[in-house]
Amino acid sequence: MPNGNSMKTPWTPATPVPLPEYPRPQMTRPNWVNLNGTWDYAIQLKDKPAPQKFDGEILVPYAVESLLSGVQKSLMPNQQLWYRRSFSVPSRKATDHVLLHFGAVDYECTVWINGEEVGSHRGGYLPFTFDITKALTDRENELLISVWDPTDTGLQQRGKQVLNPKGIWYTPVSGIWQTVWLEVVPEVSIASLKLIPDLDSETLIVEVQLRGGAQGVHVVTEISHNGEKIISTGEQAAGPVRSVIPNQRVWNPSDPYLYDLKVSLVREDQVLDEVGSYFAMRKFELLKDANGHLRFALNGQPMFLYGPLDQGYFPDGLYTPPSEEAMLFDIEYAKQIGCNMIRKHIKVEPLRWYYHCDRLGMIVWQDMINGGLIDGEVVAPLALLFGFHRNDTRRLHRFGRAEKNNRVEYRAELQGMIDHLYNAACIAVWVPFNESWGQFYSVNAANWLKAYDPTRLVDHASGWFDQGGGDFQSKHVYFKKLKRPKPDQRAFVVSEFGGYSFKISEHVWDADKKFGYRHYASSRELTDAYLALLENEVKPLIAQGLTAAIYTQTTDVEIEINGYLTYDRKVEKMDVEKIKQAHTELYKTFGALK
């Protein structure tokens, strides 16, 4: 709700540079500059030339609609958002290159350095980089950016952003919403890493993409823990580096063990480039139990997964957390109440969020961002209550996917998300489609995902319009009792349920509106209802094959008031000790089946 909502979390952005932490924990270098902070901004009609005069100041990386941006204005589809700031070039050698990194900008942007266009990008959720070396001067440099965002007037991937927020649809997030930063790299440098743990062979495979010439270059990896070297291995730059790890220690929620990794480019004993990283040894799969039920398994051990749907919204920062502490708080709260997994819903978080899940031992189901069209007010209840079904291989206009270019863009962004998040140890499941929103050829998508990333599982159509693909029968259940669907060759999960609501008047986004699936008048009533739901409906399904359940949700989001926490994170709605004990009982019930 731009133009007025003043709800805040307990955290305040660090000043003058919000979110000052290094933004890419699995590929670190020392020579970098964070460009977050105060920039000039202007909003004007689309396709007009760059403004000569700016409207005021904006705090980057907070979206223009957010309270923390200092602007809190809606960006309309016929408008363009402009940013401007100056910066000095970090110290560098004459042959070094300077890279300009953007964590995420929604949706379409063009970038100029000192009046020279250096690149453009489409897509609101993935990072991108421009080599700006040739456009730089030795004096102060000007960075100018234009952004256009159609929000829900377009069919691009946009998540739950709408110009008219209501129900489960929220305030738009336009422009820069993740960290902007400069990095100095040598002429020959490491462009990316792909870290592939192979638990069965006790091996880490490191694939390195280079920037610049690779002739005569070797890649050397060094694996360590707490400063103690474990193994060092080298290979020609053209091929992957394989390191056998003696006495490997596996990663799991109770022991989230991470190895440190250093990757170096070496030519004739000279180190050309070097980055710091980390990884975990772990394996995700499905295994059959003694009764023939397929179960989620980590490192060869079946386990029951339980945790919240998590949308990653903040009332003051929208998509962007006010601080690292705010981001960390939500993950730690899920751990505190006894959850071992989070479903990251319709959002790609900054990489530091996944780092904290890796570090804390939180398993993640990762959603792709939806685009296309959503089902209307008739189809959604029919699907939820009566199992109404559509085939997603024909009449694609119903899903907003009739245009081939739109489908191609989705698939490219899906692949981009996999590549971007591949090294996150915590991610166990990819979710390409949710509740039919923009769904098309989901079986093909699942098959492609399984081939492209065989290390993880796939929930091909979370909620409804199941096409029989992927690894899971994935059900969303609201308004009615949980039950086991007719078994097939896949594992059974309840990928959304609950949504029980309690309105706390002093901690709501809108005093006059509320949305939830079942409403209660007090914390005690809500806690009792939640405990009964787990005891009477979730627990009995575990013996029938239920291997994961995802409760809606971590926090309230705008007028949706069904969180464990209020939207401002200031009030816990239920008795924490009681719900933690109930979650522990679910794991015990599963353990007793072995």
pLDDT in tens, 152-201: 999 999 999 999 999 999 999 999 999 999 999 999 999 999 999 999 99
270 contact partners, CB below 8 Å, separation of at least 6:
none
Decide: helix, strand or coil at residue 112. strand
Q: For the whole model, what pTM was predicted?
A: 0.96
Q: Is 29 helix (H, G, I), strand (E, B) or coil?
A: coil
% residues pLDDT > 70 (the chain): 99
Question: What's the rounded mean pLDDT across residues 248-270?
Answer: 96
Phi and psi of 181, rounded to 5°? -155, 155
Handedness of CA 431, 432, 437, 439 (dihedral sign): negative
200-279: CATH homologous superfamily?
Immunoglobulins (2.60.40.10)
pLDDT at 12: 86
Q: What is the CATH number of domain 32-185?
A: 2.60.120.260
pLDDT recorded at residue 2: 53
Measure the CA–CA gap between 276 and 216, rounded to whole angstroms. 22
Between CA 125 and CA 499 the distance in angstroms is 26
Looking at residue 295, what is its pLDDT?
Answer: 97
CA-to-CA distance for 383 and 436, rounded, in angstroms? 10
Q: What are phi and psi for residue 356, nearest 5 degrees?
A: -70, -35
What would the mean pLDDT of 201-205 be, rounded to a whole number? 96
Q: Does the pLDDT at position 476 exceed 50?
A: yes
Residues of 342-381 as b/e, b for ≥16 C-beta within 10 angstroms? bbbbbbbbbbbbbbbbbbebbbbbbbbbbbbbbbeeebbe
Structure confidence by residue, pLDDT tens digits, 122-141: 999 999 999 999 999 988 99
Q: How far apart are alpha carbons 142 and 131 in whole angstroms?
A: 15
Its CATH architecture, for the domain 288-532+548-575, is Alpha-Beta Barrel (3.20)
Residue spans of the domains in the chain: they are 32-185, 200-279, 288-532+548-575
* pLDDT band at residue 4 under the 50/70/90 scheme: low
Classify 378 in phi/psi space as left (phi over 0), alpha (psi -120 to 50) or beta: alpha
Q: How far is the C-alpha of 254 from the C-alpha of 259, rounded, in Å?
A: 16
Residues 35, 178: Cα–Cα separation, whole Å = 11
Q: pLDDT of 442-472, one tens digit each?
A: 999 999 999 999 999 999 999 989 999 999 9
Distance CA 147, CA 56 (A): 16
The per-residue pLDDT for 14 is 80
Q: Where are the beta strands (DSSP E) in 169-325?
A: 175-176, 180-185, 189-198, 203-211, 218-225, 228-236, 241-244, 259-267, 270-279, 284-288, 294-298, 301-302, 305-310
Peptide bond into 209 cis (omega under 30): no
Residue 380's pLDDT is 72
Give the 3-state secondary structure of residue 145: strand
CA–CA separation, 47 and 88 (whole Å) = 29
Tokens of 552: 């809606």
Q: What share of the chain is helix, strand, coil (3-state, %, to 5)?
A: 20, 35, 45
State how far Cα 32 lies from the chain centre. 24
In the prediction, which pLDDT does 234 show?
87
Cα Rg, the chain, nearest whole Å:
24
3-class SS at 417? helix
- Cα end-to-end distance, the chain, whole Å: 50
* Closest-CA residue to 170 (of 1, 309, 9): 1
With a cut of 50, say whether residue 79 has pLDDT above it.
yes
- Which residues touch 448 (CB under 8 Å, ≥6 apart)? 411
pLDDT for 353-385, tens place per residue?
999 999 999 999 999 999 999 877 767 777 777
d(CA 218, CA 237): 5
Q: How many CB atoms lie within 10 A of CB 428?
A: 22
Compute the average pLDDT of residues 66-81.
Answer: 97
DSSP label of 391: -
Residue length of the chain: 594
Q: What is the pLDDT of residues 380-434, one digit of tens each?
A: 777 777 677 889 999 999 999 999 999 999 999 999 999 999 999 999 999 999 9
**Calpha distance 126→420 (Å, rounded):** 8
Name the phi and psi angles at 125, rounded to 5: -130, -5
Confidence tier at 1 by pLDDT (50, 70, 90): very low
What string of H, E and C letters represents the secondary structure of 523-589? HHHHHHHHHHHHHHHHHHHHCCCEEEEEEECCECECCECCCCECCCCCCECCCHHHHHHHHHHHHHH
Half-sphere exposure of 576 (CA within 13 A, CB side): 10
Q: Are 44 and 84 contacting, i.e. CB atoms less than 8 angstroms apart?
A: no
Structure tokens at 77: 């589809």
Q: How far apart are CA 37 and CA 53, in angstroms?
A: 20
Q: How far apart are CA 261 and CA 222, in angstroms?
A: 6
Q: Taking all residues of the chain, what is their mean pLDDT, rounded to a whole number?
A: 95
